[in-house]
Amino acid sequence: MSLAWVAGATGFVGRALVPALVGAGVRTIAHVRPDSRDLASWRERFTTAGAEVDDAPWEVEALAARFTALGVTHLCCTIGTTARRARATGVDGDPYQQVDRRLTEMLVAAALASTRPRFVLLSSVGADAHARSAYLRARGQADAAVVASGLPYRIARPSFISGPGRDDSRPGERAAAATAGGILAVLGALGARTTRDRYAPITPDDLAAALVRLALDDGPNRIVTAEALR
């Protein structure tokens, strides 16, 4: 039986992914940080959805031991942060390097030291290890770590992820997504459908469904861009 362990389960996409995996008949473990103030409420929410909760610390050895004990077959990584959230939680230095890249690399190391599960990574359109954007550079470096690991992998690179329910309001991102949606609709009408589909917003529920399809598909390793996630 497949067993999926979800890192970033309490995030915008992660909390949609957990019930989507359960609905697909996958035994699902939602990871919640052991120091989370809301651990009890997340445990109630995820167990009500049919998942289990793991509060292993963010340490390679502890994670590897947990993956081995559980028999993890699919490792789903939907972690991510924003500069504002990182400041609020006391993250030092570049938040994207500390969270998006470093934690992904930690999961890769734990996976290699345990059951070598299929690694399903939520990345971003434009991710590039040499990008000028700090966010896209960290995302690209995280992607590269997964690809170079030798683990079986699926990497999803959506564009804007839009919809209600974010913990942080991100008005700028909402405005950008709305503006982009209008521009992309015009481009689609003018025949630029590839550009429209690559950069069009996607909801967390639709993205979660796509991640489940990728996780359970026995095809080759691949990086999937936004137009193929719908």
In the predicted model, is pLDDT for residue 169 greater than 50? no
Structure tokens at 57: 């610390």
pLDDT at 189: 57
Q: Name the least confident of 62-71, 80-89, 162-171.
A: 162-171
Q: Name the least confident of 63-77, 86-100, 107-121.
A: 86-100
Select the more confidently predicted residue: 117 or 85.
Answer: 117
Among 152, 134, 143, CA closest to 225: 143
pLDDT at 22: 98
pLDDT tens digits, 92-109: 778 899 999 999 999 999
Contact status, residue 12 vs residue 167, Cβ threshold 8 Å: yes
pLDDT at 179: 40
Contact status, residue 127 vs residue 158, Cβ threshold 8 Å: no
pLDDT at 27: 98
pLDDT tens digits, 25-66: 999 999 999 999 999 999 999 999 999 999 999 999 999 999
Sheet arrangement for strand 153-157: 52-54, 27-31, 3-7, 74-77, 118-122, 153-157, 222-225
